[in-house]
Structure 1
Amino acid sequence: MLKERLESDLREAMKARDELVTSTLRMAITAVRNAEVAGKAARELSDEEILSVLTKEAKKRREAAEAFAGAGREAQAAKERAEEEVLAGYLPAQLSDEEVAGIVRDALAAAGLSGMASMGQAMKAAQAAVAGRAEGGRVAAEVRAQLAKG
């Protein structure tokens, strides 16, 4: 299970005195635990739900790094990028632009969608097909481009 792997890797990082990995994994485990107790009843998250939490955390790090770099705080930006790299080790490999285009094309054809009026349905189908292996913004841009020309 992914949560057990995170906790095991945290213990290893603590033993190795790797401060970056230790702090990043503590933050990730805290985010997972917060997600588990959110809502009406506390429950264990599935690996897919944990991946979703880790994806959001990685996105936060990426956005923070861009903000710090834009403000000229390169040391903070580098730290955020390093944390994102640690989290990326637990996420599925990201799809290339060509792979995203092919998956979106197949999803639109399978659902018989065309035209910008079907953007919502197209995004739902494309996101299900991509299954977290590409950022939502990249998928949305590809869906928009294919609906506009199709």
Structure 2
Amino acid sequence: MSLELTINEAIKTAMRAKDKVALDSLRAVKAQIQLLKTESLGAEVSPEQEIAILQRMVKQRKDSFDQFSAQGRNDLAEVEEAQMKIIEQFLPKQLSAEELEAEMKQIIAETGAESVKDLGKVMGVASKNLAGKSDGKSISEMAKKLLS
């Protein structure tokens, strides 16, 4: 089942449960998918694009959460955190630090990277292979750690 159909079903469930936060979050995801479809002239949205949309939305909410928390606006921070958790449910399972390290070691071995100079080569492969399973910042930090 595509993400769009899954989101539509989740919207119906949230409506029945009268869960406003979930409903707002899911409608935002649906709007982003529709926007991407419109931009690509009605072409189907690939699973990779769907994951990218979800990751971007989670990152936006995390950034907002951090800003609201720093400003002492816990009421707004709680809403952002709740929306972030709802959107994360639709992302693939995220890799733990140990799993990420194992994957990165394998990628480094495959690419033959030996130092930080080869970081670009490693990041290209890692970003493609680990899309949706880990964020770019974590991948980059692990690659730098293993290559230095």
TM-score, normalised with respect to structure 1: 0.92
Give the corresponding residue for 2:18: 17
Give the corresponding residue for 1:140: 140
Q: Which runs of 4+ in 1 moved over 4 A?
A: none
Task: Tell me the distance in 2 between the aligned counterparts of 1:37 and 1:2.
Answer: 16
Amino acid at match of 1:67: Q
Task: Tell me the distance in 1 between the aligned counterparts of 2:11 and 2:48.
Answer: 20
Shift of 1:34: 1.2
Amino acid at match of 1:128: K
Give the corresponding residue for 2:109: 109
What do residues 18-46 of structure 1 show as CA deviations (whole Å, max 9, x unaligned)? 1111111001100111122225x332202
Q: How many aligned residue pairs are there?
A: 147
CA RMSD after TM alignment: 1.2
Q: Unpaired runs of 5+ in structure 1?
A: none
Give the corresponding residue for 2:77: 77
Shift of 1:111: 1.1
**Per the alignment, in what secondary structure is the counterpart of residue 132 of structure 2?**
coil
Task: Tell me the distance in 2 between the aligned counterparts of 1:137 and 1:103.
Answer: 15
Shift of 1:140: 0.2
Q: Unpaired runs of 5+ in structure 2?
A: none
Q: Percent identity?
A: 24
Q: 1:35-50 to 2 correspondence within 5 Å?
A: 35-39=36-40, 41-50=41-50
